[in-house]
Amino acid sequence: MDRNPKVVVIGGGTGMPVLIRGLKSYPISMSAIVTVADDGGSSGRLRHEMAIPAPGDIRNVIAAMSDAEPMILDMFQHRFENGNSLSGHSLGNLLLAAMSSITGDFYQGIKEISRVLNVKGRIYPIANQNMFLHAEMEDGTIITGESKIPLVNKKIKRVFLSPDHIEPLPEAIDAIKEADLIAIAPGSLYTSILPNIIVPEIGKALKERTGKVVYVCNVMTQYGETEGYTAADHVQAIHEHVGPDCVDSIVVHNAPIEDDVQKMYEEEKSKPVVYDTERLLQMGLEIIEGDIIDHSKLMLRHDTGKIAKLLYSLIE
């Protein structure tokens, strides 16, 4: 029987929804595997008060995969600003917390919210339990907390999770093994991307996959995480945490970035990621390059339409 190709997107932060919004318009069966290690803002408060996994990245993926009316999604993403106990919370985070309480299970809560908002695809938290991200720095210090790791501005040696054994959802493992294409989304390398794939069963599934694994590389370095990193350095970090056979291809941006945009990012000590072709080829990677950013925006973002078209073209 003919079937739609299966695509899995792995990640978190702001880069993942960009990929998903474009891909959902193609005839694919899409699954998203999302980090739940965030400990800042609304997510951090709800984690502390309700002992649930962080809902923020899940909320953004639900919004990206939803076919609900725009006003409904605006309400879902609305963040309260008044100086009261709701200040800083987004309605979507509160709804996910409420549904988790009603169903007694975070993943079940995601499924119910997804059904109500007509989500096109499946969303899996990387774990159905509260978990914490830690980083060991090159000087040996240990920093605990996703939001705190970039602030110390030290070179990161490795990241790891607690408790020691994180149990991923079996459905997420099956999705990776059955996928025709697995896209590792752009985003904060150590705090949004690696927290997903350092879960041992996820890393094992990536190595045993039959579909192609594509890493969509960041366009700019990130102060406190990847300062001075080339494209190959990003992949090297993935290899050091998961192993050398977990990525087949890398997508890199190859067009000039406007001077005024670069100057703005220089204030944040962020520079364009250089893609070092020879080293990437030595790693055995297929290099896929193109103009993949949205030039209409001052903040650098991957272009939803361009990157989705490129990724869909990779499905055999």
The stretches of 117-208 forming alpha helices (DSSP H) are 170-178, 194-197, 200-208
Instruction: State the Cα angle at 6 between 2 and 11, rounded to 5°.
Output: 170
Q: Which residues contact 270 (CB under 8 A, 6 or more apart)?
A: 220, 221, 222, 223
- 224: alpha, beta or left? (left if phi > 0; alpha if psi -120 to 50): left
CA–CA separation, 116 vs 56, rounded Å?
18
**What is the CATH architecture assignment of 6-37+126-313?**
3-Layer(aba) Sandwich (3.40)
pLDDT value, residue 165: 87
pLDDT tens for 221-263 read 999 999 999 999 999 999 999 999 899 999 999 988 888 888 8
User: Is 216 exposed, middle or buried, given 0-12, 13-18 or 19+ CB atoms closer than 10 A?
Assistant: buried
Note whether 10 and 33 are within 8 A (CB). yes
CA distances (Å), origin 32, targets 12, 179, 196, 198, 288: 9, 11, 11, 16, 22
Measure the CA–CA gap between 197 and 35, rounded to whole angstroms. Answer: 9
Say what the pLDDT of residue 300 is.
84
Task: Per-residue pLDDT tens, the chain, 316 aa: give them.
Answer: 358 999 999 999 889 999 999 999 999 999 999 999 888 888 888 888 888 899 999 999 999 999 999 999 999 999 998 767 788 899 999 999 999 999 999 999 999 999 999 999 999 999 999 899 999 999 999 999 999 999 998 999 999 999 988 999 999 999 999 999 999 999 999 999 999 999 999 999 999 999 999 999 999 999 999 999 999 999 999 999 999 989 999 999 998 888 888 889 998 899 999 999 999 999 999 999 999 998 887 778 899 999 999 999 999 6
Q: Residue 91 has what pLDDT?
A: 94
Question: Which sequence spans correspond to the domains of the chain?
Answer: 6-37+126-313, 39-122
Maximum pairwise Cα distance, the chain: 57
Q: What DSSP element (H or E) covers 159?
A: strand 156-162
Q: For CA atoms 20, 25, 26, 27, give the dihedral sign.
A: positive
**pTM of this structure:** 0.94
* CA-based nearest residue to 237, from 293, 197, 292, 294: 197
Instruction: Summarize pLDDT for 101-125 with one digit per residue, the tens.
Output: 999 999 999 999 999 999 999 999 9
pLDDT computed for residue 316 by the predictor: 66
